[in-house]
Structure 1
Amino acid sequence: MGRGDKKRQFDPGFRAGAVWIVKETGKPVAQVARDLGISRYTLQNWVKNDRGQAQGGELGESERQELARLRAERAAWERERAELEMERDVLKRSVVLWVKDSMSQ
């Protein structure tokens, strides 16, 4: 065998976490597998099994469209949240500078 004679075993928590990362981040399976140090084929099987268990089969066309719409909406919210966080950080720094300036006078 390639990497030894023993087959690696992964606990259910690790498997669920790896599948969650793929589903929630939208990152490619190969990238997540590489980051976790596992085979992309192993992770692909876990994701495929999870989809089969969660949905009882393939998604219909309307479900795929709804999923795509929800993912796009979530991405827009994430961009908006990031922008608001940057604005908040700028305001915090401005207040700190204003306080320092007023105390030095």
Structure 2
Amino acid sequence: MAHTRPPGPRRSTLDNAGSPLTPWSWKYPDELRERAVREVQTSGRPVAHVAKDLGIHKEALRGWVRQAEADKGDRPDLLTTAERAELGQLRKEIAELRRANEILKAASVFFAKELDQPRTRPTR
């Protein structure tokens, strides 16, 4: 049986900044995330209660609250959103440099073999 997309408007695969969205970031709109985090931080109510009231999975909300705390500097044990983005970009660059390095190694082996072959003069 083929998988079909549910009816309704198609979601963009890019966020407002043009970055690709991941499947788990499609589930809840940014406005709801911000509202839920603000509610937890200002009301003093438990995450589970706020999550239930807003129809959000409690562990998703718990993660958002932790990330908001990290971004504010209240959680030095966690990376900020900017640090996570930078780390992801650096990992991509490292992977690309490793691929380029492998290509250059293969090319140098190829050319070294070409140089090692004895040259013969063409006969006339």
Q: RCO higher in 1 or 2 (8 Å CA, sep ≥ 6)?
A: 1
Q: Which of structures 1 and 2 has the bigger CA Rg?
A: 2
Q: Which has the higher helix share?
A: 1
- Interval containing the TM-score (normalised by the shorter chain): 0.3 to 0.5
**What's the TM-score once normalised by structure 1's chain length?**
0.45
